[in-house]
Amino acid sequence: MLRPEDFDFLAKLLKERSGLVITPDKAYLLESRLTPLARARNLKGIEDIVAKMRGHDEALARDVTEAMTTNESFFFRDTKPFDQFKDIVLPQVMAARMAKKSIRIWSAACSSGQEAYSLAMLLKEQSAKLNGWHVEIVGTDISVEMLDKAKAGLYSQFEVQRGLPIQMLVKYFKKKDESWQIDAGLRAMVQFREWNLLKDLRGLGQFDIVFCRNVLIYFDQPTKAGVLENISKLMPADAFLYLGGAETVLGISERFKPMAGQRGIYCLNKDGAATPSFPLKAPN
Amino acid sequence: MKSCLIVDDSKVIRMVAKKILNELGFRTEEAEDGIVALDRCIKQMPDAVLLDWNMPNMNGLEFLHELRKLPDGDRPIVVFCTTENDIDHIQEAITAGANEYIMKPFDSEILQAKFSQVGLL
Ligand SMILES: C[S@@+](CC[C@H](N)C(=O)[O-])C[C@H]1O[C@@H](n2cnc3c(N)ncnc32)[C@H](O)[C@@H]1O
């Protein structure tokens, strides 16, 4: 059994490092995900993990944080956002950037890269229209393990069968032993970087389209508001934000407003009051 | 209610697929090879076919070629479901007119994902 003081220590650490909120009713998650980690490190159990971290063990704290995040992702997740991207968002952004001919897209909390690569495939399919354009896709995540996987672009047979149309698999992937690897050409279109959403985001530059899906859901209200506020600062007035199917800005941030008729897409709210700035704590 | 013809020489696979498809709201029929399947299609064209590749008498690819020649044979959405998992086989299936392709082993999640991709769900 997890001792209350260990639970409190872990909950606080996770909240500070990644924003993840663990309530007492989810204590079982700590046990199921941290017990294997303890075993892998030859520690007796969660108690030992906590004891070691109380004495400051950065590497262990990192591993604990990674072990507790949910990394599930799939290609073309929810389908619709990608149709909207192709049919509505990309044409609008292109029209607005005609002079510059440059677009930057961000997959924030990209996990193992499926979202970023789905976008890369869609852009590849539009190569004729994008001739002469410079399009950059940046994928960021807190998990180094997921980023390594994303960079390798290697997916299991199971992963390539969830959401990826078979024509795309044939066109853009090669079989490598029992796995499937996305083409080097597509891998070169995406830049993956380690970045904590709770940290100062300004070093990432400006983005015309931001995908921040299925990550805010794990945060509490003030953290959600703070992250949305910081993301809004990276977006020019005519940029677009995508949130996940179970996420919204309503009641959380006035910096964004839903795009009329397009579920899941948000635009900057010019009159929206800035959410009071708040300390987003995270180690550098 | 949409109908799906399950074509596989393995009774176990047919049973598993039937259970998943019933749960997804499909009326199902079964056939153990391409010849039986073709016969079923001539009598009544299903909305979807879940199709194994390697079967005695008439294999999945031969069945697909014959199916597409039938009147109304272009109507069913055909999803291959096979252990053949190399690019050449997949390409051949697509060229022959398959709409989607599942590599075994499969589960309800994959089947559901593939069926919704081709608009069956
Ligand atoms: C469920 S995945 C979502 C992946 C993808 N966006 C999607 O919708 O399919 C959530 C990801 O958020 C990452 N994450 C959690 N907290 C984070 C933080 N504070 N900063 C950056 N990434 C974080 C996790 O490592 C995980 O890979």
Q: Average pLDDT in the A15-43 region?
A: 95
Catalogue all structural domains in chain A, each as residue range(s) with its CATH number: 4-69 (1.10.155.10), 80-268 (3.40.50.150)
Residue-wise pLDDT for A223-241, tens only, equals 999 999 999 999 999 999 9
Is any atom of ligand 1 closer than 6 Å to the C-beta of A213?
yes
Other CB atoms within 10 Å distance of the CB of residue A243: 25
B87 C-alpha to ligand 1 centroid (Å): 32
Distances (CA, A) of A42 to A6, A29, A38, A39, B31: 19, 20, 6, 5, 54
pLDDT at A284: 46
Instruction: Looking at the complex, report in whole angstroms how far the Cα of residue B81 sits from the nearest Cα belonging to chain A.
Output: 12
Give dist(CA A259, CA A262) in Å, integer.
Answer: 6
Using CB atoms, pick whichever of A165, A170, A175 lies closest to residue B117. A165
Is any atom of ligand 1 closer than 6 Å to the C-beta of A69?
yes
Residue-wise pLDDT for B3-44, tens only, equals 999 999 999 999 999 999 999 999 999 999 999 999 999 999
A259 C-alpha to ligand 1 centroid (Å): 24
Burial of residue A246 (number of CB atoms within 10 Å: 0-12, 13-18, 19+): exposed
Residues of A in contact with B103 (CB under 8 A): 157, 161
Most B-contacting residue of A75, A118, A157, A161 (CB-CB within 10 A), to test interface: A161
Q: Specify the CATH superfamily of domain B3-113.
A: Response regulator (3.40.50.2300)
A268 C-alpha to ligand 1 centroid (Å): 22
Residue-wise pLDDT for A200-215, tens only, equals 999 999 999 999 999 9
pLDDT at A271: 73
What element of type H or E holds A14? helix A4-18
Q: Show which of residues 174-203 on chain A sit within 8 Å of chain B, judged by CB atoms.
A: 174-175
This prediction has a pTM of 0.94
Residue-wise pLDDT for B53-90, tens only, equals 999 999 999 999 999 999 999 999 999 999 999 999 99
Q: Which atom of ligand 1 is nearest to the CA of A227?
A: 19
Instruction: Looking at the complex, report in whole angstroms how far the Cα of residue B38 sits from the nearest Cα belonging to chain A.
Output: 25
Q: Token pair for residue A99?
A: 């002079």
Residue A275 has pLDDT above 80, yes or no: no
Residue A272 has pLDDT above 60, yes or no: yes
Is any atom of ligand 1 closer than 6 Å to the C-beta of A196?
yes
Give dist(CA A155, CA A187) in Å, integer.
Answer: 13
